[in-house]
Amino acid sequence: MLIFAQSVCAQSNYDEYLNLSYSHFNSSKLLASDTPINQFETGLLGGYGFVLNEKEDVLSFGGAYQFFQLKNDLEIHAPLNIHATALSLAYLKHWKNPNWGSTISAGIALISDYKTDANSAYQTSLNGMLHYGKSSNLVWTFGLMYSAQPFGAWVFPILGVDWKINDRLFFETTLFSKIYLEYELKTDKIYAGIDIESSGQSFVLSNYQGQSNSYITSYSNTFPYYPFDNTLFIDFYLNNGFVIYGKAGVRISQEYVHYTDYHLPVAGTLYNSAIAPSFTATIGLAYRIRKD
């Protein structure tokens, strides 16, 4: 659900309407049992915003599908195949004072192996944010995100900043979830930089080792709340607005915990362990309109 919080919190330097990606991770291991583990992700995101009036208030719709797989060597014939389908709605309002704006957004997602009781696998979020920009080159964002997940309600503070440092350099960050630094290598054509972002999951399983409708969460004891992907990226802009991009780096501080149900303690399975850092590489195709 952080995907939606980040997309509306950040006053980004481009609008993205479509993103298709595939991420590969090299083989790593569960540290508690020294068991090798493999994982990969693929996803499709899309959205569009409608300008409502002369103040340029915007109503945005978004949708996403992601497929995520975990496979370990002790259960090679029983991988965890996780599907996530999500919808979001956001309203951005510009106030009479030109320095201020606000965003209210809501999202709903079904994240599971798609064999569960649907009511137990839904996750919802509601976000409220204030934006303050003394100039168009520097915008601050403050807010709260509320999310209802399998383990219960979760409230997360949002503090973000977007800073166009100069004509070629752009910086963006959101508290505990994203750090982004972009440099324009070739005008309107090639951009490169650093992208550090959280990669947590929480998903419901219909049956794992005989336990019905249990759930697994990922979190971090090293960084707040979630593990992080630390990557370098490069974006190639084509003449028609499409972008071919690549990212490569390391996922660190990732841990999994498996619960038998929503009220009982941790289950005794393989997925109660930290995972060793692993190399990750992503390729993707996006459609974007830059604001600069």
> Average pLDDT for residues 138-142, to the nearest whole number?
92
pLDDT band at residue 9 under the 50/70/90 scheme = very low
Query: Between the CA atoms of 82, 37, 225 and 284, what dihedral angle is there, to the nearest 10 degrees?
Result: -60
pLDDT for position 224: 60
Question: How many domains does one find in the chain?
Answer: 1
Beta-bridge partner residues of 157: 144
**Has residue 6 got a pLDDT over 70?**
no
Average pLDDT, the chain: 86
> Average pLDDT for residues 160-170, to the nearest whole number?
93
For 112-139, letters b (16+ CB in 10 Å) and e give: bbeebeeebbbbebebebebebeeeeeb
pLDDT for position 3: 45
**Has residue 78 got a pLDDT over 90?**
no
pLDDT for position 204: 87
CATH number, residue 59: 2.40.160
pLDDT for position 5: 39
pLDDT digits (tens, 9 = 90+) for 213-230: 788 888 776 666 678 899
Print the domain residue range for 21: 2-290
Alpha-carbon distance 203 to 155, whole Å?
A: 18
pLDDT for position 120: 73
